[in-house]
Amino acid sequence: MSRAPRKVTIVGAGYVGMTCAHRAAQLELAEELVLLDVQAGRAKGIALDLAQAGAIEGFGARLVGGGDPDLAADSDLVIVTAGRPRKPGMSRSDLLEVNGRIVIQVAEWLRRNSPEAIVIVVTNPLDSMLGLMRRKLAFPAKRVIGMAGALDAARFSCFVAEATGTSVQDVDAMVLGAHGDSMVPLPAATTVAGVPVRQLLGAGPLEALVDRTRHGGAEIVKLLETGSAFFAPAAGAVQMAASILLDQRRLIPCTVELNGEYGIEGLPIGVPCVLGRNGVERIVELPLDTEARIGLNKTAGEVQRDIEALRERGLW
């Protein structure tokens, strides 16, 4: 695109949403940024605070906050962060019903107000919420994308850098599958400045990093005690938004409804995607060894179970 799109809306003014708004404003991704929340005063207050920060930081997007869904009208891109966060001892699936109802409501707003938007979903449990959003919006799959792989790959990268004593900027990690304990970090597709990570770490230490990545969100939830991660999830969502809005065509692991790729039909799963002006421009199919293939099928089964649970509750 020759210039920033006219409008980006962020639904949910919690920690993830307001951090997304700040980062998007800093990167000047849009001429107008809307922060929408059922707590209208909170959204308005954060938008005003960010506008004042712009006077110091040098960004000039028009920042709007409120609770009226019509504020999102004609958005080019929408990031959905609304939903209840995890607490210690909770799994992402424990949020299925409460966040499912929120996603349905948001989908109704967006289908009416922003029928041409590209939608990035952050709400947990991510994969089933992405599927629910796509079902209720009835948008093409390439325009309804889940932020999970960007975050999980970032966590894997961070742990690899720490273990190898190298800069995280040199680590290129890949994670497939659902955003949960069954995700599939891929050591075979992870490098440090082009050097395969398996040449730098033995099987035991590497497996420990894989396991820590799978439970990376729970580790933060336990430490925070009263909430869940927000800096890295927001960074992942805005990285995806930038690739789409600026047509950067970056290869980022994202959740998208598959149509036979990786042998999976009609399920939302995290896979490597090229993101550009149309949303998902292309899904990249990596060669998988037997262990990774089994892991991906397992994670697909877990997503299917969450979808069946939504169907039993009458939400699907």
DSSP secondary structure letters along 104-134: HHHHHHHHHH-TT-EEEE-PSSHHHHHHHHH
For the chain, the domain total comes to 2
- Digit-by-digit pLDDT tens for the chain (316 residues) are 345 568 999 999 999 999 999 999 999 999 999 999 999 999 999 999 999 999 999 999 999 999 999 999 999 999 999 999 877 777 767 889 999 999 999 999 999 999 999 999 999 999 999 999 999 999 999 999 999 999 999 999 999 999 999 999 999 999 999 999 999 999 999 999 999 999 999 999 999 999 999 999 999 999 999 889 999 999 999 999 999 999 999 999 999 999 999 999 999 999 999 999 999 999 999 999 999 999 999 999 999 999 999 999 999 9
- 179 is annotated as an active-site residue: yes
Burial class (CB in 10 A: 0-12, 13-18, 19+), 13: buried
pLDDT at 219: 96
Q: Per the domain annotation, does 304 fall within a domain?
A: yes
Q: Per the domain annotation, does 183 fall within a domain?
A: yes
Amino acid at 248: Q
From 146, 161, 185, give the residue that closes a domain. Answer: 146
- Tell whether 192 and 278 lie within a shared domain: yes
Q: Which domain holds residue 26?
A: 7-146
Q: What is this structure's pTM?
A: 0.96
- Tell whether 164 and 301 lie within a shared domain: yes
d(Cα 89, Cα 243) in Å, to the nearest integer?
Answer: 35
Q: Per the domain annotation, does 2 fall within a domain?
A: no
pLDDT at 5: 60
- Tell whether 124 and 239 lie within a shared domain: no
125 cis-preceded (ω within 30 degrees of 0)? yes
- Tell whether 168 and 296 lie within a shared domain: yes
Q: Per the domain annotation, does 1 fall within a domain?
A: no
Q: Per the domain annotation, does 26 fall within a domain?
A: yes
From 123, 146, 169, give the residue that closes a domain. Answer: 146
Which of 136, 142, 179, 214 is the catalytic position?
179
- Tell whether 198 and 296 lie within a shared domain: yes
d(Cα 110, Cα 77) in Å, to the nearest integer?
Answer: 10
- Tell whether 192 and 235 lie within a shared domain: yes
| Cβ neighbours of residue 251 closer than 8 Å, sequence gap 6 or more | 272, 273, 274, 284
From 146, 173, 204, give the residue that closes a domain. Answer: 146
Residue 200 CA, chain-centre distance (Å), reads: 29
Q: Per the domain annotation, does 162 fall within a domain?
A: yes
Looking up residue 187, the CATH number of its domain turns out to be 3.90.110.10
- Tell whether 169 and 292 lie within a shared domain: yes
Q: Per the domain annotation, does 184 fall within a domain?
A: yes
- Tell whether 57 and 119 lie within a shared domain: yes
